[in-house]
Structure 1
């Protein structure tokens, strides 16, 4: 995950307890200059996905906290991280346990450098995957180049 700017990190720390209390995970925060000005964006997620009502709920709860802080964005928005957001933490993998993921590795493990399997879960710095034949594979996060939710078309 890219390192957050100082302002984004401050916003993350202010918003995370509120977002968590509302039943969501705050997965990232950005503070970037766009053509319209400085934009503060919170990225929230939950099992089953995020809808516009979820974004509105979080926005209404966090906006007053941002207003009272030293953070002064021109625009504040709340968004879903998107379907193709990489899974990077134990929370990410556990949120989508039981769903399939496309996984790429830095080096081949058991002869494979990429695979699609069901996420069993994660603990500490490891994630476990189950293949269609029932075999399980546990990997350290540092072995995973990229893991994203599998999308069937």
Structure 2
């Protein structure tokens, strides 16, 4: 079964669990690291996710996965918070975190540079916009961006 399809199936399975418990489903990943496969589910809620919240979702999702068995190979299930420096993946993330500091990593460099930092302005017409350190507006086509994540400066 294709990686994307597994993520979609698991998203459908875990969504009712997260909704019932008033959690936000941030992301589902199914990927191979070394010799092992990992099914990672990232959840969040106002005030942050606790280990008990992760355990609740892990146990409920584990039961559903055991019933339907959509993944043929051996894998490890992990449920966790996306963390403070969470990646922005969905359109609503760009609305929620507008005005926050972000790091934009590109697939290919622009003028020899692949990483840009600034204040998130938003996502409009497929372009991610940030205000850089010199108050310049920087725009990136979404398909050229590897990852956008929140950054915390201390």
Which TM-score applies when normalising by structure 1? 0.64
Say if 1:39 and 1:146 are closer, same or farther in 2 by CA, change over 3 A: closer
For residue 23 of structure 2, give the secondary structure of its aligned residue in structure 1: coil
2:150 counterpart of 1:149: yes
* Structure 1 alignment gaps of length 5 or more: none
2:23 corresponds to which residue? 23
Say if 1:128 and 1:57 are closer, same or farther in 2 by CA, change over 3 A: farther
2:119 counterpart of 1:118: yes
Say if 1:41 and 1:107 are closer, same or farther in 2 by CA, change over 3 A: closer
Which TM-score applies when normalising by structure 2? 0.64
**Runs of at least 4 residues off by over 6 Å:** none
Say if 1:144 and 1:32 are closer, same or farther in 2 by CA, change over 3 A: closer
For residue 3 of structure 2, give the secondary structure of its aligned residue in structure 1: coil
RMSD over equivalenced CA pairs, Å: 3.9
How many residues are treated as equivalent by the alignment?
A: 149
* Structure 2 alignment gaps of length 5 or more: none
2:54 counterpart of 1:55: yes
